[in-house]
Amino acid sequence: MSFNTALSGIRAASGDLGIIGNNIANANTVGFKGSRAMFGDVYAASLMGAPGTAIGQGVRLKGAAQLFGQGNVAFTGNAMDLAINGRGFFQLSDAGGATVYSRAGAFHLDRDGYVANSEGLYLMARSADANGSITGGVGPLQIDTSYADPNPSTALNANINFDARAGETDSSWALVGGVPDPAGYNSSTTTSVYDSQGNPHDITLYYSKQDPATNPNTWTVRTMIDGAVLDTSTVSFNDDGSYNSPANITLTWNPSGGATPGQTITVDLSKSTQYGSDFAVNSIYQDGFSTGQILGVDIDQEGTVFARYTNGQSRSIGQVVLANFANEQGLQPLGDTAWANTYASGPPVVSAPGTSGLGLIQSGALEESNVDLTEQLVKMIVAQRNFQANAQTIQTEDTVTQTIINLR
């Protein structure tokens, strides 16, 4: 009789419906990967049986094959949401060091500054040193929310055009109420420099044209910080208006307020010119900055995490890593859109996004489920018909059986 054969078909169709139902239920689950049923026929035949006489004994559900195709990327605008474009998995770890892998990139900062998902698993990344260089050590990614250290100014570079048409100024350059007499200079520039405590101080350079008759390409440059004159230097230009000398102006400064004394600042004017046009500051840059608090975090497509601070600075604080496997089908589903590696999957190959065949990261976005609802609904109809057809086989077998029983 074929009751067992039909029952195996019903069990297989029921399992297929279960897989389809699970796919449909997770159609909106971030990072979910759908599955499909795999079937195998069943034969009960000995090795010595006559060829062509074996009758099938039904079907069995061999398993559910996971489909790791790319899901759609939906933009959220939240910088901590991450989506993977291409192959790879986020590497996640719990407090005990157990590691799992996921495509769901909905992360947030916990109370200790760690980047974690809703299950409390930490996102793994390579750390960066104090200079922002990626060191290579992999561990939970933590965003340091403490104040960033200030950087005292050591260099000031200015690109200025000195007006070649300017006339000589009053050589009796003097301070009037702590401020230079405008008759003693042609032009000036002011910017801020920073001491060892991150305190800003005004630095002003005053430019005075020397006698055009005797020194046509020569200027006197006086430097003041906080109203005190620290240096007086002579700057000269070539006949074609290009810069001549000196190479640098070196200032030694004792900041007030308890900051480190003897701070040295090198002033570089070598990119400046002397042309017959108005005085102009093309650029001015100094390398110091004050202390700052973290303002935001940006993550680029290579996984590098940049912190932005209120002092206008930014630096890399880590790099998100991705894991890949020789056999993704061998991964063990754990639920919560996470997988564990097994002997069948092979060990994880961990590297930076965009290397070793890994995909790139999209910040401010999430990868949606790769389930196609239309496809799943069609498969549901097919599975339902398979179930009904196998049930009809049982009904037919029952009719035959009743016929045999009623024989007299």
In a domain, 342, yes or no: yes
Q: How confident is the model at residue 392 (pLDDT cuts 50, 70, 90)?
A: confident
Output phi, psi for 404, to 5 deg. Answer: -65, -40
With a cut of 80, say whether residue 46 has pLDDT above it.
no
| 114 and 199 housed in the same domain | no
With a cut of 80, say whether residue 291 has pLDDT above it.
yes
| 361 and 374 housed in the same domain | no
- Rounded percentage of the chain residues whose pLDDT exceeds 90: 69
In a domain, 394, yes or no: yes
Place of tokens 């859109």: 337
In a domain, 379, yes or no: yes
With a cut of 90, say whether residue 289 has pLDDT above it.
yes
| Domain final residue, candidates 229, 260, 286 | 286
Output phi, psi for 251, to 5 deg. Answer: -110, 140
The DSSP symbol for 105 reads -
User: Which pLDDT score is estimated for 52?
Assistant: 58
In a domain, 295, yes or no: no
pTM for this predicted structure = 0.77
pLDDT 10s digits, 163-213: 999 998 877 778 877 788 888 899 999 999 999 999 999 999 999 999 988
In a domain, 291, yes or no: no
In a domain, 119, yes or no: yes
Structural domain for 192, as ranges:
155-286
pLDDT 10s digits, 27-45: 999 999 999 999 988 887 6
| 125 and 195 housed in the same domain | no
In a domain, 292, yes or no: no
Any idea how long the chain is?
408
| 188 and 260 housed in the same domain | yes
pLDDT 10s digits, 311-321: 888 889 999 99
| Domain final residue, candidates 217, 252, 286 | 286
Q: How far apart are CA 102 and CA 166, in angstroms?
A: 69
Q: How far apart are CA 281 and CA 245, in angstroms?
A: 19
Asked, as a colleague might, if the bond just before 182 is cis with ω within 30 of 0, I would say no
| 277 and 306 housed in the same domain | no
